[in-house]
Amino acid sequence: MATKSEKGKKFIYLFGGAKSQGSADMKNLLGGKGANLAEMGKLGIPVPAGFTITTEMCAVYYKMNRNYPKALYGQIKEGIKHIEKTMGAVFGDNNNPLLVSVRSGARISMPGMMDTVLNLGLNDETVRGLAEQSGNERFAWDAYRRFVQMYGDVVLDLKPQTKTDIDPFEEIMDEVKKKKGIKLDVDLDVHDLKELVWKFKAAIKEKKGMDFPEDPWKQLWGAIEAVFGSWMGDRAIKYRTINKVPHDWGTAVNVQAMVFGNMGNDSGTGVAFTRNPSTGEHKFYGEYLINAQGEDVVAGIRTPQPVNVSTKTSAEQKTLEEVMPQAYKTLEAIYKKLEKHYRDMQDIEFTIQKGKLWMLQTRNGKRTAAAALKIACDMVDEKLIDYKTAVLRIGPEQVDQLLHPMFDPKAKKEVIAKGLPASPGAATGQAVFHADDAEAWQGEGKKVILVRIETSPEDIGGMNVAEGILTARGGMTSHAAVVARGMGKCCVAGCGALNINYKEKKFEVSGVTIKEGDWISINGSTGEVMNGKVPTIKPTLSGDFSKIMVWADKIRRLRVRTNADTPNDAKVAREFGAEGIGLCRTEHMFFEGDRIKAVREMILADDTAGRKKALAKLLPMQKGDFVGIFEAMKGLPVTIRLLDPPLHEFVPHEKPQQEEMAKEMGVSLEKIHHKINLLHEFNPMLGHRGCRLGIIYPEITEMQAQAIIEAACEFKKKGITVKPEIMIPLVGDVKELQDQVDIVRKVAADTMKKYGVKIDYMVGTMIEIPRAALTADKIAEVAEFFSCGTNDLTQMTLGLSRDDAGKFLPAYIEKGIYKNDPFQVLDAEGVGQLVEMAVNKGRKARKDIKVGICGEHGGDPESVEFCHKVGLNYVSCSPYRVPIARLAAAQAVIKEKTKKEYSTK
């Protein structure tokens, strides 16, 4: 039943001719296609007349249990009348028949997901009218044949029942062609086409038990129903779930007069971009086919020709500019008008019917990252847009493309598996299976891809020299992924299909065996694993990039820091614009060279004295680390996190390494086993780590504090100011923090006294345990800063181990239970609630407390926007994501100000 409010409601909007009732800003109601058709009509651009049934109608249709309110019938009649009047043809008229297309059109494009019916209005009578009118009987019957086939498929649901079935219409086509001994559709003559129409109809009758509807009105209602129905089709639902499109948006339906590009050599059809979508070059760029329909362009049987002379690549090409100069001129005027009007690069579709140009579509064009930068900057120069709009025009994720090598898009590739796109970029190398081998091979000048079931901190050396890293286990935030992103190195993680055999140094996947030394290529932006060498190209950063970044920096409020553990990382990040280090993990420093020996000596020690002795050996090395990092950061703030991982990460877990360790340390293998057993944990994530280490072994905290303050003192003595921010990890209760702060402050005071200088240092904490957020007011009484460790906070808030979630996370996302991988995009509703709580409670207790975020989310645009909204002071991310964060932070400000939806298309 229609409600009262629906009775007087306007469900259709006319476009074309004198009337255009919609406009471009009515996308929500008319869908993208409908809104832009109306807008073009308004601008006086020739569009075939038509009307759009609103997305609201789609909602009503489902609310009314797939029925329509009465009002719709009258409105559609009026809509058809409008088309008839404008186009000078009559729907269902035998002599001068109006044919229409019926197309879906949602708010956003859902390519291939929704249904379309063309040439609607044809029947055994009107086909004759069309033949006469066009003077081309074959054209008319071909149109009819296509219509019956399309209608049978889309509306009457005569489709292959399983994937292996042949399409019933194609089956008939094949029979007829076989009988005639022809291969191509174009070789079918009028007689054949008539036979096909007859046979198609018979098949419908036989298989669907119904006559093909001859009445154009019946045809029209059937097609409308099919389009609305396709919104709730399985494919569409799945697409929306994956692409996070709300199911209640609904689709609009566009009913539009047909125009034909295949009415002879004075007809044609084409697509074009108002600027080059690959490079951004300010040049009109398009392709067309003479005497053809849109389908033909797609079919790829004939080669499309360039639209204009300036984009010709060979003399033989016949441009529209040359072949139909008048139509081209009109097109040129229109594209300029459209670009100026939309203030953005347009992707347009046009058809020329007997010399007359019709526009069928315009929309903002998709573009590469480089093109996006160039177009945005050019348009600012052209005064088409201001710099804030330019900043909004760049997809933060696109920036990523610019910073990493990529595969040559023209190269051939044999994809053998797909994992998680863990760290972007492209890499080609010879497969090796052990970190040592990677180092050895690289030493011989070879390029390698390190293939591991999973990586561990012991593999750092091999990871560092590899072109890329491929793992079978672990998620987007596994060790391999995190370290690779930190290094800006390509990584495909969690590629579960790989059957890796360390012993035989090989892996098998999809029936292919890759042995050590075989070439493979991996794409860290898509997760693809390819057999053989695929050539890569290295993008260069243009001046446009710097321009956009300067503008972004002018706009943003959030500071952007980096997560960096080495002087080199720090240097890279600073070059990318990092304003400090938000997270310097000290544990990675514990693995290098001889240090691991001292660390293991500490772990094996039976008492405090033994641990102190071992730690004393680490002190100068650790101090050296900080000297290097302070140097690289040149006075910018550096947040150093004290030792975080459980101690068992520092001992070998395989027998040969344990034996070696025993030998090196001069202790029995039994003692090592015993110690390793003691260190074993059921859930190391929730185990003896973070500040719990420093509380039980205060001497570790002492050593680290001393190393930091000594390094700072030495700089100070040289007249250089450094700003260490000492961060206590895994605090859940203010008393844990107080315990560690007391130690740090005492060591700092003693050290400063020894050096005779005063260092301006801070002591703060991670907010990474839910309880820390819940009691942030108390913690802020002691902490001078907060850094939200949203990796761990996500794990604990969601009860989700990032290393194990791979087993069900993909299904969760597919089922729409999670919108995103919560380790990539901050879960604003849950984890975000705690982050906000930490900010608010923290500031209540300590007004000026500095709050940042240092989880992987710090480099994710959506999460950066969240951080801006809840008022964090900074985000910290891996070096290669710093520009992304800078851009996202600026966009957050603009979006907040305009409070309008935007999309980077």
Q: Is 606 in the site for its own copies (CB under 8 A)?
A: no
Residue 888: helix, strand or coil by DSSP? helix
CB under 8 A: which stretch of 156-164, 204-212, 538-546, 682-690 binds its own copies? 682-690
Q: Which is nearer to its own copies, 567 or 830 (CB)?
A: 830
Residue 649's nearest CA partner among 625, 694, 681 is 681
Q: Is 807 in the site for its own copies (CB under 8 A)?
A: yes
Q: Which is the catalytic residue, given 584, 691, 854, 877?
A: 854
Q: Is 377 a catalytic residue?
A: no
Contact in structure between 651 and 600 (CB atoms under 8 Å): yes
Q: Locate tokens 């034996």: which residue?
A: 659
Q: Is 808 in the site for its own copies (CB under 8 A)?
A: yes
DSSP tag of 371 = H
Q: Is 685 in the site for its own copies (CB under 8 A)?
A: yes
Residue 287: helix, strand or coil by DSSP? strand
Q: Which is nearer to its own copies, 407 or 786 (CB)?
A: 786
Q: Is 686 in the site for its own copies (CB under 8 A)?
A: yes
Contact in structure between 446 and 430 (CB atoms under 8 Å): yes
CB under 8 A: which stretch of 313-321, 435-443, 458-466, 798-806 binds its own copies? 798-806
Instruction: Pick the binder of its own copies from 361, 471, 797, 878 (CB under 8 A).
Output: 797
CB under 8 A: which stretch of 248-256, 397-405, 688-696, 871-879 binds its own copies? 688-696
Contact in structure between 488 and 879 (CB atoms under 8 Å): yes
Q: Is 698 in the site for its own copies (CB under 8 A)?
A: no
CB under 8 A: which stretch of 407-415, 514-522, 623-631, 811-819 binds its own copies? 811-819
The rounded distance, in Å, linking the Cα atoms of 881 and 481 is 14
Q: Is 854 a catalytic residue?
A: yes
Q: Which is nearer to its own copies, 355 or 770 (CB)?
A: 770
Q: Is 804 in the site for its own copies (CB under 8 A)?
A: yes
Residue 172: helix, strand or coil by DSSP? helix
DSSP tag of 575 = H
Instruction: Pick the binder of its own copies from 178, 815, 844, 897 (CB under 8 A).
Output: 815
Q: Which is nearer to its own copies, 233 or 816 (CB)?
A: 816
For 6, 351, 443, the CA distances from 35, given in Å and listed in that order, are 21, 19, 61
Instruction: Pick the binder of its own copies from 446, 803, 840, 894 (CB under 8 A).
Output: 803
CB under 8 A: which stretch of 196-204, 276-284, 361-369, 762-770 binds its own copies? 762-770
| Token pair of 897 as six digits | 């100000």
DSSP secondary structure of 221-258: HHHHHHHHHHHTSHHHHHHHHHHT--TTS-EEEEEEE-
Q: Which is the catalytic residue, given 82, 479, 857, 868?
A: 479
Q: Residue 738 carries which side chain, given as an amino acid letter?
A: Q
The rounded distance, in Å, linking the Cα atoms of 579 and 592 is 27
* Inter-axis angle of helices 543-555 and 882-898, nearest 10: 50
Contact in structure between 510 and 535 (CB atoms under 8 Å): no
Instruction: Pick the binder of its own copies from 603, 769, 849, 893 (CB under 8 A).
Output: 769
Q: How far is the CB of 453 from its own copies (least distance, A)?
A: 9
Q: Is 346 in the site for its own copies (CB under 8 A)?
A: no
Kindly report each contact of residues 467-471 with a partner whose C-beta sits within 8 Å and lies 24 or more positions away, as own/partner.
467/427, 467/428, 467/429, 468/425, 468/426, 468/427, 468/429, 468/492, 468/522, 468/524, 469/423, 469/493, 470/419, 470/495, 470/498, 470/520, 470/522, 470/529, 471/419, 471/495
CB under 8 A: which stretch of 205-213, 754-762, 790-798, 853-861 binds its own copies? 790-798
Residue 154's nearest CA partner among 208, 107, 106 is 208
Residue ranges in 820-859 that form contacts with its own copies under rule CB under 8 A = 827, 829-831, 833-834
Q: Which is nearer to its own copies, 428 or 797 (CB)?
A: 797
Q: How far is the CB of 268 from its own copies (least distance, A)?
A: 49
CB under 8 A: which stretch of 205-213, 572-580, 594-602, 687-695 binds its own copies? 687-695
Residue ranges in 724-753 that form contacts with its own copies under rule CB under 8 A = 730, 732-733, 735-736, 739
Q: Is 162 in the site for its own copies (CB under 8 A)?
A: no
The rounded distance, in Å, linking the Cα atoms of 264 and 847 is 76
The rounded distance, in Å, linking the Cα atoms of 422 and 524 is 6
Q: Is 234 in the site for its own copies (CB under 8 A)?
A: no
Q: Is 799 in the site for its own copies (CB under 8 A)?
A: yes
Residue ranges in 35-54 that form contacts with its own copies under rule CB under 8 A = none
Backbone torsions φ then ψ of 803, nearest 5 degrees:
-80, -15
Q: Which is nearer to its own copies, 22 or 806 (CB)?
A: 806
Q: Which is nearer to its own copies, 177 or 692 (CB)?
A: 692
Interface with its own copies (CB under 8 A), residue total: 49
Which residue numbers are catalytic? 479, 854
Residues that bind its own copies (CB under 8 A): 681-688, 690, 692, 695-696, 730, 732-733, 735-736, 739, 768-771, 774-775, 792, 795-801, 803-805, 807-808, 811-812, 815-818, 827, 829-831, 833-834
